[in-house]
Amino acid sequence: MKTTEDALKKLIKVKLNKAGLSEEHAEGVADVLVHADLRGVHSHGAMRVEYYAERIAKGGINTNPNFAFEKTGPSTGIFHGDNGVGHVAAKKAMDRAIEMAKEFGVAVVGVKRISHSGALSYYVQQAAREGLIGLSLVQSDPMVVPFGGVEPYYGTNPIAFAAPGKNDDMITFDMATTVQAWGKILHARSKNESIPDTWAVDKNGEPTTDPFKVNALLPIAGPKGYGLMMMVDVLSGILLGLPFGNRVSSMYHDLSEGRNLGQLHIVINPAYFTDLTTFKENISKTMSDLNNIKPAPGFDQVLYPGQNTTIIEQKSRLEGIEIVDEVYRYLESDVVHYNKYDDKDPFAK
């Protein structure tokens, strides 16, 4: 079914508040989730609310965290999340990074000990709206086989980037270092749809099209994606003195415990490297150039990276956000959660 941005935010906020989050933090999470659903990234949208609600209700997300920012250098710092809700901690950490980049030209801020923080595109767009370049990396729990291996070691370890163009132009790119994010598998399950056989493998390491038989995901472009997910794990885990690789906590194991995840924001002020007006003009020109390239057979137009989600967002604002009926019914219900995520196999049905 379809719903409006405001209506969806209200439903999410009420549910998370009922689970135990403060009004402020529930609203912060709702903003990030609806941002994802608007862009068609439903794997990081409202479908996550029930899981968050169960973790909050069971104490695995600190509802009264002692957020603290530790400045470790002129343009570096660590935002201590105290296992509070990741969306709010990541947003506040990006605010700090933006402040430092405006003053010093560049900022690198680690976000330490947080819960799942949702779609990274939200945070890099914070920087781009301020005329800055944003880059964000985050580790996740092991569910990807390394190139040439059978056992999962790294997570989907996503990367996001955004840069400002002229006027309201903005180029945003957000990707997992796997062929697809785990949330896409969950979305396929929620709609009882098959998946391409290039996304994941079953328990025998064989490609599968059945989302319910997935036992591990595959890195994008084989060894190249494998290298990227290693880089993300180093920068958002080892660099911050946090668990890494297959030591990263599972999303579903013991929902009463904090996850201690890490994230890294890098913000660059273009004005410290070139003329800012020219930079923005060239970003817009890049977007236009790519759109004007002759499309290959089978394509209507060449899109710049991330443009597909921008198109979906524009359409969603006009026509409404598409939400799976089951997810919407849960949001409308009086139920906080159905006690179905705690200590389950992440690949189980």
Residues annotated as catalytic are 116
Least Cα distance to 160 among 136, 189, 196, 126 occurs for 136
Q: How far apart are CA 145 and CA 219, in angstroms?
A: 7
Break the chain down into helix, strand, coil percent, rounded to 5.
40, 15, 40
Least Cα distance to 205 among 250, 154, 157, 144 occurs for 144
Rg (C-alpha) for the chain, rounded Å, is 20
Q: How far apart are CA 158 and CA 249, in angstroms?
A: 16
SS3 label, residue 264: strand
Q: How far apart are CA 56 and CA 116, in angstroms?
A: 12
Q: Would you tell me how many other CB atoms lie within 10 Å of the CB of residue 216? A: 21
E strands of 176-307, at which residues?
200-201, 216-217, 261-268
Beta bridge partners of 114: 261
Query: How are beta strands 170-175 and 159-164 bridged, if at all?
Result: antiparallel
SS3 label, residue 130: coil
E strands of the chain, at which residues?
2-3, 68-73, 76-80, 106-114, 133-138, 159-164, 170-175, 200-201, 216-217, 261-268, 321-322
Query: How are beta strands 76-80 and 106-114 bridged, if at all?
Result: parallel
